[in-house]
Protein backbone atom coordinates (compact mmCIF):
# COMPACT_ATOMS: atom_id res chain seq x y z
CA UNK A 1 0.00 0.00 0.00
CA UNK A 2 1.47 3.37 -1.08
CA UNK A 3 2.27 5.83 1.68
CA UNK A 4 0.39 9.09 1.83
CA UNK A 5 2.08 12.42 0.82
CA UNK A 6 2.16 13.68 4.45
CA UNK A 7 3.84 10.44 5.55
CA UNK A 8 6.50 10.78 2.85
CA UNK A 9 7.14 14.41 3.85
CA UNK A 10 7.51 13.39 7.52
CA UNK A 11 10.04 10.70 6.61
CA UNK A 12 12.01 13.17 4.49
CA UNK A 13 12.02 15.70 7.35
CA UNK A 14 13.15 13.04 9.82
CA UNK A 15 15.94 11.98 7.45
CA UNK A 16 17.03 15.60 7.00
CA UNK A 17 17.11 16.19 10.76
CA UNK A 18 19.15 13.02 11.25
CA UNK A 19 21.59 14.10 8.51
CA UNK A 20 21.97 17.57 10.05
CA UNK A 21 22.62 16.07 13.48
CA UNK A 22 25.21 13.75 11.99
CA UNK A 23 27.00 16.63 10.24
CA UNK A 24 27.12 18.70 13.42
CA UNK A 25 28.44 15.73 15.41
CA UNK A 26 31.13 15.02 12.83
CA UNK A 27 32.03 18.67 12.21
CA UNK A 28 31.60 20.55 15.51
CA UNK A 29 33.32 23.62 13.99
CA UNK A 30 30.08 24.25 12.10
CA UNK A 31 28.33 24.90 15.41
CA UNK A 32 31.05 27.08 16.93
CA UNK A 33 30.46 30.68 17.81
CA UNK A 34 32.96 33.43 16.99
CA UNK A 35 34.15 33.30 20.61
CA UNK A 36 34.83 29.58 20.24
CA UNK A 37 36.98 30.31 17.20
CA UNK A 38 38.85 33.06 19.02
CA UNK A 39 39.44 30.52 21.81
CA UNK A 40 41.04 28.23 19.23
CA UNK A 41 43.54 31.00 18.49
CA UNK A 42 44.21 31.50 22.21
CA UNK A 43 44.93 27.80 22.72
CA UNK A 44 48.24 28.18 20.86
CA UNK A 45 48.89 31.93 20.73
CA UNK A 46 47.76 32.76 24.27
CA UNK A 47 44.63 34.57 25.47
CA UNK A 48 46.58 37.83 25.41
CA UNK A 49 48.18 37.04 22.06
CA UNK A 50 51.49 36.14 23.73
CA UNK A 51 52.61 32.63 22.79
CA UNK A 52 54.50 30.48 25.29
CA UNK A 53 56.18 28.45 22.53
CA UNK A 54 59.11 30.12 20.71
CA UNK A 55 58.12 28.35 17.49
CA UNK A 56 54.60 29.80 17.63
CA UNK A 57 54.43 33.56 17.02
CA UNK A 58 53.10 36.26 19.26
CA UNK A 59 50.08 37.71 17.49
CA UNK A 60 48.98 40.45 19.89
CA UNK A 61 49.16 43.92 18.35
CA UNK A 62 49.68 42.71 14.81
CA UNK A 63 48.10 45.04 12.21
CA UNK A 64 44.55 44.00 11.38
CA UNK A 65 45.14 43.85 7.63
CA UNK A 66 48.22 41.64 8.08
CA UNK A 67 46.29 39.17 10.25
CA UNK A 68 43.40 39.12 7.79
CA UNK A 69 45.71 38.38 4.86
CA UNK A 70 47.42 35.55 6.72
CA UNK A 71 44.15 33.92 7.73
CA UNK A 72 42.96 34.23 4.14
CA UNK A 73 46.18 32.63 2.86
CA UNK A 74 45.73 29.75 5.31
CA UNK A 75 42.08 29.35 4.37
CA UNK A 76 42.88 29.19 0.67
CA UNK A 77 45.89 26.90 1.20
CA UNK A 78 48.42 29.46 0.02
CA UNK A 79 50.23 29.10 3.35
CA UNK A 80 50.79 25.58 4.62
CA UNK A 81 50.28 24.56 8.23
CA UNK A 82 47.96 21.64 9.02
CA UNK A 83 46.45 23.16 12.16
CA UNK A 84 46.04 26.65 10.73
CA UNK A 85 44.69 25.35 7.40
CA UNK A 86 42.05 23.30 9.24
CA UNK A 87 40.98 26.16 11.51
CA UNK A 88 40.96 28.84 8.81
CA UNK A 89 39.06 26.68 6.34
CA UNK A 90 35.94 27.04 8.48
CA UNK A 91 36.14 30.85 8.74
CA UNK A 92 33.80 33.14 6.82
CA UNK A 93 34.91 36.51 5.51
CA UNK A 94 33.05 38.19 8.37
CA UNK A 95 34.87 36.00 10.88
CA UNK A 96 38.22 36.79 9.28
CA UNK A 97 37.45 40.46 9.80
CA UNK A 98 36.26 40.03 13.39
CA UNK A 99 39.17 37.81 14.48
CA UNK A 100 41.68 40.13 12.83
CA UNK A 101 40.21 43.09 14.68
CA UNK A 102 40.34 41.21 17.97
CA UNK A 103 44.01 40.25 17.49
CA UNK A 104 44.97 43.79 16.47
CA UNK A 105 43.37 45.11 19.66
CA UNK A 106 45.54 42.95 21.95
CA UNK A 107 48.65 44.42 23.53
CA UNK A 108 51.88 43.89 21.56
CA UNK A 109 54.66 41.80 23.11
CA UNK A 110 57.48 43.45 25.05
CA UNK A 111 61.09 42.81 24.04
CA UNK A 112 62.03 39.17 24.56
CA UNK A 113 63.70 38.57 27.91
CA UNK A 114 67.12 37.10 28.47
CA UNK A 115 70.65 38.23 27.78
CA UNK A 116 71.31 40.42 24.77
CA UNK A 117 74.39 39.64 22.71
CA UNK A 118 75.64 43.16 21.94
CA UNK A 119 77.64 42.07 18.89
CA UNK A 120 74.75 40.15 17.36
CA UNK A 121 72.32 42.96 18.17
CA UNK A 122 74.56 45.47 16.40
CA UNK A 123 75.06 43.15 13.43
CA UNK A 124 71.31 42.57 13.17
CA UNK A 125 70.65 46.30 13.28
CA UNK A 126 73.17 46.84 10.50
CA UNK A 127 71.60 44.15 8.32
CA UNK A 128 68.09 45.48 8.95
CA UNK A 129 69.26 48.93 7.93
CA UNK A 130 70.95 47.61 4.78
CA UNK A 131 67.77 45.75 3.79
CA UNK A 132 65.56 48.78 4.54
CA UNK A 133 63.34 46.74 6.89
CA UNK A 134 62.13 49.88 8.68
CA UNK A 135 60.82 51.39 5.46
CA UNK A 136 57.97 48.86 5.44
CA UNK A 137 57.71 47.70 9.04
CA UNK A 138 58.11 51.19 10.61
CA UNK A 139 61.21 52.53 12.39
CA UNK A 140 60.04 50.90 15.64
CA UNK A 141 59.15 47.65 13.80
CA UNK A 142 55.55 47.90 14.99
CA UNK A 143 54.22 46.96 11.54
CA UNK A 144 51.52 48.62 9.48
CA UNK A 145 48.81 47.64 7.01
CA UNK A 146 49.83 44.27 5.50
CA UNK A 147 53.34 44.38 7.02
CA UNK A 148 53.70 42.52 10.32
CA UNK A 149 54.98 43.71 13.65
CA UNK A 150 58.52 42.37 14.11
CA UNK A 151 59.59 43.91 17.44
CA UNK A 152 59.41 41.47 20.34
CA UNK A 153 58.84 38.42 18.13
CA UNK A 154 60.51 35.14 19.07
CA UNK A 155 63.86 34.57 17.39
CA UNK A 156 63.03 30.98 16.37
CA UNK A 157 59.85 32.08 14.64
CA UNK A 158 61.47 35.01 12.81
CA UNK A 159 64.33 32.81 11.57
CA UNK A 160 61.85 30.24 10.24
CA UNK A 161 59.81 32.96 8.52
CA UNK A 162 62.90 34.41 6.82
CA UNK A 163 63.99 30.94 5.69
CA UNK A 164 60.53 30.29 4.25
CA UNK A 165 60.62 33.56 2.32
CA UNK A 166 64.02 32.59 0.93
CA UNK A 167 62.83 29.16 -0.26
CA UNK A 168 59.47 30.42 -1.52
CA UNK A 169 57.55 28.30 1.02
CA UNK A 170 55.97 31.49 2.33
CA UNK A 171 54.43 34.15 0.18
CA UNK A 172 53.76 37.80 0.84
CA UNK A 173 51.28 40.20 -0.67
CA UNK A 174 54.14 41.36 -2.91
CA UNK A 175 57.55 40.02 -3.92
CA UNK A 176 59.38 42.40 -1.57
CA UNK A 177 60.33 39.81 1.06
CA UNK A 178 61.82 37.34 -1.41
CA UNK A 179 64.07 40.13 -2.65
CA UNK A 180 64.84 41.41 0.86
CA UNK A 181 66.24 38.05 2.02
CA UNK A 182 68.14 37.27 -1.17
CA UNK A 183 71.80 36.53 -0.44
CA UNK A 184 71.40 36.35 3.34
CA UNK A 185 72.75 33.35 5.27
CA UNK A 186 71.18 31.52 8.19
CA UNK A 187 73.68 33.31 10.45
CA UNK A 188 72.42 36.63 9.06
CA UNK A 189 68.85 35.57 9.78
CA UNK A 190 69.85 34.71 13.34
CA UNK A 191 71.38 38.13 13.93
CA UNK A 192 68.39 39.95 12.46
CA UNK A 193 66.01 37.85 14.57
CA UNK A 194 68.07 38.55 17.71
CA UNK A 195 67.97 42.28 17.02
CA UNK A 196 64.21 42.32 16.43
CA UNK A 197 63.39 40.11 19.41
CA UNK A 198 65.25 42.43 21.78
CA UNK A 199 64.56 45.65 19.89
CA UNK A 200 64.25 48.84 21.91
CA UNK A 201 63.82 52.22 20.20
CA distance 194 to 124: 7
Neighbours of 18 (CB within 10 A): 10
CA distance 200 to 140: 8
Q: What is the pTM of this model?
A: 0.81
Residue 81 burial (10 A CB sphere; 0-12, 13-18, 19+): exposed
Closest CA to 197 of 160, 165, 156: 156
CA distance 72 to 29: 17
Closest CA to 169 of 79, 70, 86: 79
**pLDDT attached to residue 53:** 96
Tens-of-pLDDT digits for all 201 residues of the chain? 445 544 554 454 344 344 434 444 544 544 368 899 999 999 999 999 999 999 999 999 999 999 999 999 999 999 999 999 999 999 999 999 999 999 999 999 999 989 999 999 999 999 999 999 999 999 999 999 999 999 999 999 999 999 999 999 998 777 899 999 999 999 999 999 999 999 998
Domains of the chain (ranges; CATH) run 63-102 (no CATH), 118-197 (1.10.760.10)
CA distance 190 to 117: 12
**pLDDT attached to residue 28:** 52
Q: What is the dihedral of CA 82, 151, 180, 166, to 10 degrees?
A: -30
**pLDDT attached to residue 174:** 76
| Inter-helix orientation angle 93-104/64-75, to 10° | 140
Amino acid sequence: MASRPWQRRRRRLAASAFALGLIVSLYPALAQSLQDKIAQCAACHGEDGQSKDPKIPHIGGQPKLFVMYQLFFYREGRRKNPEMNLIAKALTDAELDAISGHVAGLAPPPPVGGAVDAARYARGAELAQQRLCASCHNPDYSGREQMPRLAGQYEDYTIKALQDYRTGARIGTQAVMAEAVRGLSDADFGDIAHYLAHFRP
